Amino acid sequence: MPDFEDLLRQVMAIRGTLRAALIDHSSGMTVAALGRSVDGGDDSHPPPGSEPGRPGRHAEPRWEPDGDTGPMDIIRATVNSPAFVAPATPGYVEDIVVTSANGYHLIHFVVTDFDARLVLYVWLDRLVGNLAMTQRSLRNLGQHLVAA
């Protein structure tokens, strides 16, 4: 089983990263999360209902206002778009980037050998972070997750 917490610590080490989350996009469940939440909270300490000793890891799906549900809406809209579901030209989404006033929101699809549909969600500070380098780092980290 891959070490999701270690993966998120590596993502958080990328310059300008404010939040990192690993989300199962088929169920909408946040598998693990670290960093600031949109409401200014911090997932570095276990929130109520999380597994003891596993910061940000939740036994049940976590639905928080404007938390990791925002990326799920974007993912659903993208993967259900006719451009990506047409049988004649099947599409493969690697990344989704949303630019907003509060930063870049990157959603990187991780292709796994085990039965999971995972995405890495990263909230990146626009002033400090480097979008291209972060995308490259996410690709490399995603490949290491698959190899684990």
Domain with 143 in it: what CATH number?
3.30.450.30
How many distinct structural domains can be found in the chain? 1
Quote the pLDDT of residue 89.
54
Q: pLDDT by residue for the chain (148 residues), tens digit each?
A: 468 889 999 999 999 999 999 988 888 888 899 998 766 555 554 444 444 344 444 333 333 334 566 777 777 777 767 766 656 555 577 889 999 998 999 999 887 766 668 889 999 999 999 999 999 999 999 887 766 5
Q: What are phi and psi of 100, to 5 degrees?
A: -135, 175
Q: Provide the pLDDT for residue 58.
A: 39
DSSP the chain: ---HHHHHHHHHTSTTEEEEEEEETTTTEEEEEEEB-TTS-BTTSPPTTBPTT-TT-BSS----TTTTHHHHHHHHHHHTSHHHH-SSS-----EEEEEETTEEEEEEEEP-SSS--EEEEEEE-TTT--HHHHHHHHHHHHHHHHH-
Residues spanned by the domain of 48: 4-147
